[in-house]
Amino acid sequence: MNLFSPLNLGDIVLPNRLVMAPLTRIRSGKSGVPGELVVLYYTQRASLGLIVSEGTYPSHAGQGFPGQPGLVEPEQLAGWKAVTDSVHAAGGRIVAQVMHAGRVTHEATTGGYPVVGPSAIAIDGSTRTYDGKKDYPVPHALTTDELAGIVAEFVLASKNAIAAGFDGVELHAANGYLLHEFLSPASNVRDDAFGGSPATRARFVIDVVTAVTLAIGADKVGLRISPEHNIQDVLETDSDDVKATYGVLVDGLASLDLAYLSVLHDDPRGEFVQNLRTRFAGVFLVNTGFGAITARDEALAIVRDDVADAVVVGRAAIANPDLVRRWRDDLPVNEPNPLTYYADSAEGYTDYPALAS
């Protein structure tokens, strides 16, 4: 197999093994409704094997950023339907990343909805809100009884994503957001059935994934994880604990027959990540991390050497709407402009040029 060969991912057939990473771009305004600019952005990148949308919130309390799109209100679903229709018309495939921010937000962003987390531990730092930068608040520690409501939010948002025309969903258990917060002993100090040991810390993520698969079908569900990423105060620095936690997690998912598992890690060839792949025993995606932009040669080698079934790329996909053609034919690439990653205009969003045909 090679980077440009087809891949069956659940019930989706990908024409190549280049996957666009979920990339926060905050172009959907205060309403969280994707507009024409968002439609154009995703449609431009339809030649990628699969597009994973930016993180979309499953409830107002789960919104992490100003300008983030949601999967809650009818207008938001209509906006996403315009996106998915356009991507499909261009021959593409797109899944929605369902992301609950957990404690990585502020009431000034959520519209007054309380900030929640597994435990009442605040992030050390500040966040951008609709009212300017503010310190992260101490989150409300979700009670055992309240967890069922969070599961229901993920289920409803996933159903909404399918209704809006997405080919599936990717549940976000990475990068320090709510599901990831449950996995880490730094952010989860609960003493109930969802905290303590690696097995109990992994339980809530397994419960969410299981409920979503029952609701929309396992062949439409992927999961993203980022063990040892150590971001947003979700620290995972004890190697033995990390191996135990993610081992339990992947073992708990293996029987579900998910569409894929996507792992963000800086050492995809290492024993830890490859052990997760063996235990998952399904379609396995890797993203090499935020340290450096994924290069063509690295992506080619990951698939050629059977490190993973597909490669997830972020910044290269931002700057090159025709990345598949450029990498397939070894053509020059555009360089991304970090100053325009998080903005509200077309600059650095839909104005990166494609090569002339």
Place of tokens 């021959």: 91
What residue type is assigned to position 178 of the chain?
A: L
Distance, CA of 83 to CA of 343 (rounded, Å): 19
56 closest CA partner among 110, 111, 92, 101? 101
Helix ranges, the chain (H): 36-44, 74-89, 107-110, 147-163, 178-183, 198-216, 239-254, 271-280, 296-304, 315-319, 323-328
Q: Is 136 a known active-site residue?
A: no
Give me the helix-helix angle, 74-89 and 36-44, nearest 10°: 30
C-alpha neighbours within 13 Å on the C-beta side of residue 12:
30
Given 41, 42, 177, 352, the catalytic residue:
177
288 three-class SS: coil
CB atoms under 10 Å from CB of 209, counted, come to: 24
Task: Answer yes or no: are the C-beta atoms of 136 and 106 closer than 8 Å.
Answer: yes
Nearest C-alpha neighbor of 265 from the set 236, 233, 306, 296: 236
Contact criterion met (CB below 8 Å) for 60 and 113:
yes
C-alpha span between 280 and 274 (Å, rounded):
10
Residue pair 50/95 in contact by the 8 Å Cβ criterion: yes
| Distance of alpha carbon 313 from alpha carbon 29, whole angstroms | 25
Catalytic residues: 177
